[in-house]
Amino acid sequence: MSSSIPQVQVAEHSVGRMGYGLMQLTWNPKPPAEEDSFKAMKAAADAGATCWSTATFYGPDFANIKLIANFFKKYPEYKEKIVLVVKGGQDYTTIAPKSDDIDFLRSDVNKTQEILGDKKIDVYSVARLPHGVSVEEVFNNLETLRKEGLYNAVAASEMGVESLKKAHAITPIAVIEIEVSLFSYEQKIRDVVEWSKENKVPIFAYSPLGRGFLTRTYKSPEDIPEGDFKKSVPRFQGEAFYENLKLVDRLDEIASKKGVNTSQLALAWIIGLSGYTIPIPGSSNPKRAEENTVAANIKLSPEENKTISDILDTFEIKGTRYPGAMMDHLKELCSLISMDTVSVHINAINKYWTNADVEQHSRLLSLLIE
């Protein structure tokens, strides 16, 4: 197994500056066959992606955790080389946050460890904070379980700077998981990147390729499959879709001059934001997994970075991230409570989709919990 990409410290382990997200391997209407997943997992690890992001709720009955356990059974030589960052604290049916319940968290961790066997959980985090529950309560729970020896370190997920300060005062945060991409780099994300740099806390950047938009997975709104939640998202609809493709056109030009593809450019840009950013692209394609990982070796020049920054500062993404009714509900929630916007997403979703079928609800949640 090679480790030929730049490294960074996560929970006292040296890991590659490109990670690997496993969500789509099991939390997917049509997940790949286990053997196909193994090929992609192995390709990512061999290329240097040694820090993996998983969750207890990525599919039914701990499906993602079981996939990893089966991988280690087949390839035991990888067991000690991979650092596992496990998210949990979500109800297995509704995916609602339960991180205020320390008994649930303890059970969540113990079930995960039982499946993994002698592969210790390196880092554990809760995916979201429950509405109305303080940061202090949740992270005191996490620190209690860490002291019990259930895992080695604590991570944070989808939290703003003020919440991170509170959490970090209770237990050293090993890694922060937030969405970062050329398609999603609002001020609140920039603030977290700056805080992580100042405090030398790595960032797990999920959805680093804009949920497939930056890779031109979709060339028109019609390419988005029926039943895919993105079909109802304004920025993926109609004229907004084509206007937003102009951003990809401009990035394509920079990538072409650089001699790389746009996906690699996008990943290299994230790595260049600071010495602590770790993109975690996911792929079930071994060639793509390797291609993504080796992008960690691509360095952008000051001129290239300035060109990209100028584009981001002047290009206006058309359309919101969520459907109108959900956006209205999110704004209502955020105007009533003093907490990070992202901390209320799950509550908004559960209310918004009260009458939706389970599959539709799951697809929406999968966009928000990575």
Query: Which residues carry out catalysis?
Result: 58
Element (H or E) spanning 54, and its range?
Answer: strand 51-55
Q: Outline where 153-301 has alpha helix (H).
A: 161-170, 187-199, 238-258, 262-271, 286-294
Q: Which residues have a Cβ under 8 Å from the Cβ of 88 and sit 6 or more positions away? A: 55, 56, 57, 105, 108, 109, 112, 124, 125, 126, 127
- Give the integer Cα–Cα distance in Å for 280 and 53: 7
Nearest to 278 by CA among 289, 288, 267, 286: 267
Which amino acid type is present at position 169?
A: A
Decide if 294 contacts 266 (C-beta within 8 A).
no
* Alpha-carbon 220 to chain mean position: 25
- Give the integer Cα–Cα distance in Å for 43 and 75: 12
Reported as half-sphere exposure (CB side, CA atoms, 13 A), residue 7 has a value of 12
What is the secondary structure of 171-210 as a DSSP string?
S-EEEEEEE-BTTB--HHHHHHHHHHHHHT--EEEESTTG
- Give the integer Cα–Cα distance in Å for 16 and 37: 20
